[in-house]
Amino acid sequence: MKKQTLLSVSILALTLTLSGCQTAYYSAMEKVGIHKRDILIDRVEETKDSQQESQEEFKSALERLTTLIDFNGGELQDTYNQLNDDYESSLKAANEVSTNINKVEDVAEALFDEWSDELEQYKSASLKRESSKKLAATQRQFEQLLRSMRSAESKMEPVLTSLHDNVLYLKHNLNAQAVSAIKGEFTNLKRDIQVLMNDMNKSIEDSNKFIKQMNSVG
C-alpha cells in the first residue's frame, strides 16, 4: 500500500472516533460557556493555519526536487534524503488539513441543527424570521467555505502521489540518469502544486470571510 493512501485510511478512522464523542464534547464545552459557534470559528482558524503550513511543506518539497533536477555534481544521497523528509512532512501536513476540515464540518452541522431547532422556541414572529434569515445566510457562506476547503483538499492527493512516485523511483535509481528521467514528471508536479497553492489561497480567503461574518452575527 502506498503511503499516501494512509491519508484516506487515517481520516476515516479519526472521523469514526470523532462522531462518537463530539456530542459529549460540545455539551461539556457549553457548560463552561464555550458554544458551538465559538468552536466552529476556532476550528476554521485551525484549518486555515494547517493549510498554510501544508503550503510551506509542499513548496519545500518542490524546491528540493528542483535542486535534484538541476543536479550538476555533488552528493545526491543527501538531497534525496531531504526530499524524502519533505515528502513525509507533506503527507503529515495533508493529513492534518483533512482532519481539521472534518472537524469543521462536524461542528457546523451540530451548530446548524441546534440553531434550526431553536427557531421553534421563539414566541416573537419577527425575531424568529430574523434569526432564520441569519441562519440561512450563515449556512450559505459555510457551504461555500466547505466547497473551497474540499476543493483544495482534493488537489493534495495527486501531488502526494506524484511526490511519492518520484521519491520511490529515485530511491532505487539514485544517479544522474534517473534524475534526468523524472524531468517530465517534474513539469506536471510543478503545475499541480501551483494549482494546489491557488486553491488553498482561495480557501484561506474564504475562511477569513467566514470568520468575519461569524464574529458579526449577533
Give the pLDDT confidence score for residue 72 in this predicted structure: 66
Residue 7: pLDDT over 60: no
Q: What is the pLDDT of residues 52-94, one digit of tens each?
A: 999 999 999 999 888 888 876 667 888 889 999 999 999 999 9
The alpha-carbon radius of gyration of the chain (Å, integer) is 22
Contact between 179 and 71 under an 8 Å Cβ cutoff? The reply is yes
pLDDT at residue 99, as a whole number: 97
Nearest-CA neighbor of 193 among 160, 151, 150?
Answer: 160
Q: Which amino acid is at 115?
A: W
Tens of pLDDT, residue by residue over 10-28, are: 454 455 445 557 788 888 8
DSSP secondary-structure letter at 119? G
Q: Are 68 and 76 in contact (CB under 8 A)?
A: yes
Residue 171 — pLDDT band, cuts 50, 70, 90?
Answer: confident
Buried/exposed 2-35: b ≥16 CB within 10 Å, e otherwise: eebeebeeebeeeeeeeeeebeeebeeeeeeeee
Residue 158 in this model has a pLDDT that exceeds 70: yes
